[in-house]
Structures are given as C-alpha cells and as structure tokens.
Chain A
Amino acid sequence: MIEVRDLHKAFTLHNQGGVVIPVMAGAHLSVAPGECVALTGASGAGKSTLLRMIYGNYLVQAGSIVIGGMDVAKVAPRDIIALRRETLGYVSQFLRVVPRVPTLEVVAEPLLTLGVAPEVARARATALLQRLAIPERLWSLSPTTFSGGEQQRVNIARGFAHDYPALLLDEPTASLDAANRDTVLCLIEEAKARGAAIVGIFHDTAARERVADREVDVGAFAPGRM
C-alpha cells in the first residue's frame, strides 16, 4: 500500500548562507495493507521528516513514494489533495483548526469533505469523541482552548473519522493517560484489522510493541552512512 524507494532529502537554508543540510539518503520502506510499521531512531534521525514526505508536506530531492498507485513525489498538488481526502490520513502532534469551529464539526469534517451525509458524519464523530472520553459539554466548543491532552484526542478522533486505507501517526499516544492510551491503541488495532497500512512514530515502547508488526530504524537512512 505504501512503497518508499530510494528517497533523498536535503534542506537548503537560503537565508543562512545557503547552507545545505542533507537529512536522508536512500530511504526504503514498504507497508502492506493491515500492517503497522514503527519508525525508530534517535531524536533528529528523520522520523518525522520521513512521515512528512510520505504525506506530501515536505518535498523530496529524489526517489519515489507510491501510495495506492500514486507517486506523491511527482503528482500535482490537486492529486495530493484528493489522496489526502480519500486514501491517506495523518495524525500530527498538533491540532490545527479554524478558530470558533465546534469540536464535533472538527472531527466530522473529513467525512463532510468526502460528501458523507451530515447526520452520518456527526454520528461517527460523536462515537469517536465518546470513546476518547471528551466530555459532551465540550463538543459544541472550539478545541483551541482545550488542554494539550484533550486537543490531542480531538486530533486522533478526526484522524480516525474516515477509514483511510493508509494512515500516518506521529506519536499518537504521547501525553495520554492509561485509559485513553489503551483506546488509541485499540483504534489502531481496529484500523489494522480492516486492512489499513500504518506508519507510526511511537516513543512509548510498550505501545510500539503492542501495535507494530515491524520496526524500521530511520538512522540507517542517514546521509554519509552509505
């Protein structure tokens, strides 16, 4: 489902003397439907960078990232938009929303964008918010004023609203209590069971061992190691 081949990435900082920072060389990754691959490596090794490249958020210098038959490294922006809408989900560490939009709408939005009937989308959003223990009195409020843990759970609810065939998870269990952590891990297991291909970063070792089928050390793709 996700095929990463010979990926190279470098950042050029034009306003800091044009310094070029190579961050990745020859990265490979292959994730089958129903499989969860955990990215490991020291802080700064490029785990998030790889995740962002797969999502089309960072450009790549060379290589290919094929998701469901589409090469993210080559296609036009509007194809990536369609891919993100239908196929590729991403749970980032930070919630980014239009201020003033109620939490229930934030969570239902991926489904509404897909043209799902509003009642169906809201029912799904309601179920996810309940599972993730967001109190009902908060659903009509914007999540911008919520605590860090609450914002993260809203973010996870939104990321799991649509059954994406491919999912990218950046530290989905960080800063969650035991009960919520278990809920998130269950959501990941359910996604795997329905055939989603998942790439994740999990600093929490126990969580990683529970959901990941394999580990890939991103440190192996560091430039200069080849």
Chain B
Amino acid sequence: MTQVVQAEAGDLSIFAKKKYPLLQVKGLTKRYGARIGCADVSFELWPGEVMGIVGESGSGKSTLLSCLAGHLAPDAGAVIFETGAGPRDTVTMPEAERRMLGRTDWAFVHQNPRDGLRMGVSAGGNVGERLMAVGARNYGTIRTAALDWMARVEIAADRVDDRPAAFSGGMQQRLQIARNLVTGPRLVFMDEPTGGLDVSVQARLLDLLRGLVRRMGLSAIIVTHDLAVVRLLADRLMVMKSGLVVESGLTDQVLDDPQHVYTQLLVSSVLQV
C-alpha cells in the first residue's frame, strides 16, 4: 500500500524528466479477415502526455486502443512500453505479464462503466479489489484508500457500501476512474470516457480527468469522437479514417489548421453552440 502511494507521488516526477518515451508504437496492424481494423500505426507517447484519437465510427480507433492495451492481439507491429526495468514489447510478452501490467502500470477506462466495474460488488469493494490484486491485504488500509479515492472523484463517503447499480451514470463513470487510478498507473487508456453522459456531467468529468492527469503526471490515450473533449484534454491528436492515421500533430493545430481532406470535413461538420 505504502509503495503504491509513493509510486504516485515520487517515481513519476523523476520519470517525467527522463529522456525516453513511455510508449513506442511501431507499425501496429490488425485485420479482420480481408478488412482492415487498423493499419501501420506508429507513434510515441511521452511521460505526462495526453494523446487523443478521433475519427468516426468504424474508423479503427477502438480497435487500435484494444491492440495497444493488449485486449486484442495485433497481426503485426510492436507496442514497446517503458517498464520500470527497461523497455518491453508488450505484444510478445507472456500473457501473465501483460495481465500484471494491466493491473499495475496500465489502466483502462471503458465507455460503459458496467464493462469496467463489478456491478455486484460495493463501490468501496470495486476500488479495493484492484489494490488487493496487487497484493494489498490490510482491510483498514484498503478501506481508507477506497474512501480517499471516492472523495477524489467526488462520491460521498456514505455511498461506500452501495453497489454501483444504485449509482447514476456519471457516478458510475467516476467510480470506474477511481478503481482504475487507485494503484497509481502510469498509462491510462480511455475509450469515449465522456460518451453517454449529460453535458453537465461531462464537464465535471473533464475537470476531474484534467486535474488527475496533471497532479499524478499520468500519460493517457483517449479515444473519442468529440472534438471539444480532445481540445480540452489532449496535448496531441491523431485523426483516423478507414483504419489509417491520416493526420497527427498538436491538438489545436490539427483542429484549427487541418491539412487532410477528412480532418477538414470533420472539423467543419461540428455544430456550433
């Protein structure tokens, strides 16, 4: 437990100053039979960076995210993660190690909180479970950490014993974030984290995510179709179409001076409020 807390505050700041990327993706390709899921995707993600991936439904952005996070096996390419003990290709590493990574250094926030939460377990249990998966055993410390994280995502302490099924959609999403971040991951994958939420709840979640990313020095990859969300959250942006990355760059540059025909269409199609 103590180690987890230290990893959150101490190690990351040192890590952020090092001169190598946290993640190096090279030629990542996934085919579904003859169809392309995503093809030849390469990029680097540096400590503390937030990268957005945008594109319409079916553009391959969720396939890419699943391949990056090890939920889908790519047909070609490498996903090299800078573990504490040096860079490792997570595509070729044994399944057990990849799963361990998914419980420690990595986190995955699903669009639907039901996919990322255990609906039959209490809210506190959902947060504590991830701690227990990395070896925490003391009930008192686990409960304290769970309460601390519920407070950070603005869920009242008196809801700790309630099941997520009794929560609103926004609360469920915040609980999922708490469950994911309690072990102090260094890289968070998010699939449409604000999708399906009311705009007022979205704003609250955006504020929360931005604060957490800055305070914890997290790196994140966020898949979304919402350009306003990436403008506020992401440092860099990749635009996908038909499984290919058609444009990438600084988020505001890609949105304000798009170069590719598809990005221009995407940006000009956003309704003004």
Interaction A to B: yes
A residues whose Cβ falls under 8 Å from a Cβ of B = 11-15, 52, 56-59, 77-78, 80-81, 96, 98-101, 112-113
What residue in chain A is nearest B232 (Cβ atoms)?
A: A98
A98 pairs with B203, CB closer than 8 A = yes
Q: How far is the CA of A113 from the CA of B215 in the complex (A)?
A: 9
B257 pairs with A77, CB closer than 8 A = no
Minimal beta-carbon separation of A162 from chain B (angstroms):
15
B250 pairs with A52, CB closer than 8 A = no
Q: Which of B214, B252, B260 has the most CB of A within 10 A?
A: B252
Minimal beta-carbon separation of B109 from chain A (angstroms):
18
B207 pairs with A99, CB closer than 8 A = yes
A15 pairs with B235, CB closer than 8 A = no
Give per-residue flags for B238-267: 1 if the beta carbon is below 8 A from chain A beta carbons, else 0: 000000000001101100110111001100
Q: B252 contacts which chain A residues (CB < 8 A)? A: 57
A99 pairs with B253, CB closer than 8 A = no
B residues whose Cβ falls under 8 Å from a Cβ of A = 46, 49, 203-204, 206-207, 210, 214, 231-232, 235-236, 249-250, 252-253, 256-257, 259-261, 264-265, 268
B257 pairs with A59, CB closer than 8 A = yes
Minimal beta-carbon separation of B266 from chain A (angstroms):
10
What residue in chain B is nearest A77 (Cβ atoms)?
A: B250
What residue in chain A is nearest B235 (Cβ atoms)?
A: A81
Q: B235 contacts which chain A residues (CB < 8 A)? A: 77-78, 81
Across the A-B interface, give the 10 residue pairs with the lowest CB-CB distance, nearest first.
A14-B261, A99-B203, A77-B250, A58-B257, A100-B203, A100-B207, A77-B236, A98-B232, A98-B207, A98-B206
Q: B232 contacts which chain A residues (CB < 8 A)? A: 96, 98
Q: A81 contacts which chain B residues (CB < 8 A)? A: 49, 235, 250
Q: Which of A12, A13, A14 has the most CB of B within 10 A?
A: A14
What residue in chain B is nearest A84 (Cβ atoms)?
A: B250
B257 pairs with A98, CB closer than 8 A = no
Minimal beta-carbon separation of A215 from chain B (angstroms):
26
Q: B249 contacts which chain A residues (CB < 8 A)? A: 59, 77
Q: How far is the CA of A113 from the CA of B16 in the complex (A)?
A: 13
Minimal beta-carbon separation of A101 from chain B (angstroms):
6
